[in-house]
Amino acid sequence: MPQFKGNDLYIEQVKLSDIAKKYKTSTYVYSKSKIVTNFENYKKALVPREGLICFACKTNSNGTILKLLAKLGAGADTTSGGEIYRCLKAGFDPSKIVYAGVGKTAEEIEYALKSRIFMFNVESFEELDAIDRISAKIKVKARIAFRINPHVDPDTHSYIVTGKKGTKFGIPYEEAVKAYLAAKQKKNIEILGIHSHIGSQILDIGSFKLAAQKIKKIVDSVEKNGIKLEYVNFGGGLGIEYKKDQKVPSPEQLMSELFPVFDENKKFIFEPGRSIVANAGHLLTKVIYRKISGGKSFLITDAGMNDLIRPTLYEAYHEILPVKMTDDKKVKTDVVGPICESGDFMGKDRMLPFVEQGGYLLITCAGAYGFAMSSEYNSRPLLAEVLVNDDKTMLIRKRAKYEDLLLNEV
Ligand code: LLP
């Protein structure tokens, strides 16, 4: 997390106010060392078993960050042809790319096969047929795991629960064995493993363990039918500390609970996203105006819901810090953006100094699903991104210009 030194907030060895002056606002700012540490924690935890840590690049697909993770030996969890493209461009070894998603199109499947990705996490019987058909057409055998919906309901926001009965994801638990038997009949399919992902921002290891126990039952039934499953993939989902005092399990705690559920020869894949980049990235924004209206205080920032949609979409909490500590009294205030919607807020009822006009705020832990979910809504050009390495900063995405808004219009 960024730290105060004296009255100034720093990320690594750089003053955030200096970044704001140099690169303007709003800007996403990432700490390189935090990304590295977060990834290394997963890598270390996996040491007792063979397998892969595949970074879920939907959380943050900036090429420099992808390149960094690829160099550290990460694989990639992808969810579209576009993500596979970005990962290949960033130097990921195709044999470390896995591909999940309920709606893979024929074009995407063909692109993935031609790119020789490691495996598809197949989510329906019809998708299996499509992959088999396309594999035959282009004469490339497809390696697959089935994504099984384990019917587990973890404690997280309902929009990011994915392994519960009745959600669109994966093959229903009861039909898992049938899916493997169907795949066994297909000439162009090679079965490698089993996949499940129960949701995101999960802090209770118990839910993962329950899913693991259910998945183990499927593994046993499938293997009794003479189908060997080499890989067990648990998806991502480990949460982070958005609010002080949230108890966050480590990758090591997670894996040490899951490994013993399975035989020693099983290889493991994890697809962490949020827990690699969320607390490494923050949204640096400027207070444009202040106002008091209807008895409430508002700080109006140049970042809006188009730049960071999480508070609006999931009522997600992001700690907001002033970039300069002052002696000003803290007041209860809403931090809101400039967009024409009442849902456009970064935080509500926060105790903050009534930061001066032109002062800066940091919306913390926005490195995952932050820039990646941003849009040009209200015709607002996409933001700049900056990577901090010790006392150096590097622009890793230019701020878009007004002309860019019209780029693809005909
Ligand atoms: N693997 C699969 C198959 C997934 O669907 C996801 C996330 C992940 C891995 C990565 O999960 P993570 O480690 O990041 O929790 N936009 C929402 C989160 C959506 C999660 C979707 N799936 C948010 O901002 O909270």
- pLDDT level of residue 180 (50, 70, 90 thresholds): very high
Mean pLDDT of the chain, nearest integer = 96
Distance between CA atoms of residues 134 and 288, nearest Å: 53
ipTM of the complex: 0.99
Which atom of ligand 1 is nearest the CA belonging to 195?
3
Q: Whose CA is nearest to atom 24 of ligand 1?
A: 369
Q: Which helix (H) or strand (E) holds 22?
A: helix 16-23
pLDDT at 163 > cutoff 80 = no
pLDDT at 372 > cutoff 80 = yes
Mind listing the domains of the chain with CATH numbers? 3-30+278-402 (2.40.37.10), 32-277 (3.20.20.10)
The contacts of residue 90 (CB under 8 Å, 6+ apart) are 63, 66, 67, 70
Q: Whose CA is nearest to atom 19 of ligand 1?
A: 160
Pocket test for ligand 1, best of 119, 155, 254, 271 (most atoms within 8 A of CB): 271
pLDDT at 352 > cutoff 80 = yes
The contacts of residue 251 (CB under 8 Å, 6+ apart) are 41, 42, 44, 45, 46, 238, 270, 272, 275
pLDDT at 156: 78
pLDDT at 166: 82
Q: What is the pLDDT of residues 203-229, one digit of tens each?
A: 999 999 999 999 999 999 999 999 999
Residue 104, amino acid: K
Q: Is 340 a catalytic residue?
A: yes
CB of 239 sitting under 6 A from ligand 1: no
pLDDT at 151: 86
CA of 58 relative to ligand 1 center, distance in Å: 7
CB of 275 sitting under 6 A from ligand 1: yes
Q: What is the pLDDT of residues 89-137, one digit of tens each?
A: 999 999 999 999 999 999 999 999 999 999 999 999 999 999 999 999 9
CB of 317 sitting under 6 A from ligand 1: no
- pLDDT level of residue 86 (50, 70, 90 thresholds): very high
CA of 333 relative to ligand 1 center, distance in Å: 30
- pLDDT level of residue 67 (50, 70, 90 thresholds): very high
Q: What is the pLDDT of residues 1-17, one digit of tens each?
A: 899 999 999 999 999 99
Segment 378-384 mean pLDDT: 98
Pocket test for ligand 1, best of 55, 58, 307, 374 (most atoms within 8 A of CB): 58
Query: Do 305 and 339 form a contact (C-beta atoms < 8 A)?
Result: yes
Q: Which of 258, 267, 351, 346 is nearest to 304 (CA)?
A: 346
CA of 161 relative to ligand 1 center, distance in Å: 9
This prediction's pTM: 0.97
DSSP letters, 254-305, are HHHHHGGGS-TT-EEEE---HHHHGGGEEEEEEEEEEEEETTEEEEEES--T
Segment 353-381 mean pLDDT: 96
Q: What is the pLDDT of residues 223-232, one digit of tens each?
A: 999 999 999 9
Residue 407, amino acid: L
- pLDDT level of residue 162 (50, 70, 90 thresholds): confident
CA of 56 relative to ligand 1 center, distance in Å: 7
Given the residues 57, 87, 340, 365, select the one marked as catalytic.
340
CB of 38 sitting under 6 A from ligand 1: no
Q: Give CA torsion, residues 21, 22, 27, 29, to 10 deg.
A: -110
What percentage of the chain carries pLDDT values higher than 90?
93
CA of 236 relative to ligand 1 center, distance in Å: 6
CB of 214 sitting under 6 A from ligand 1: no
pLDDT at 155: 75
Sign of CA pseudo-dihedral 241, 246, 250, 255 = negative
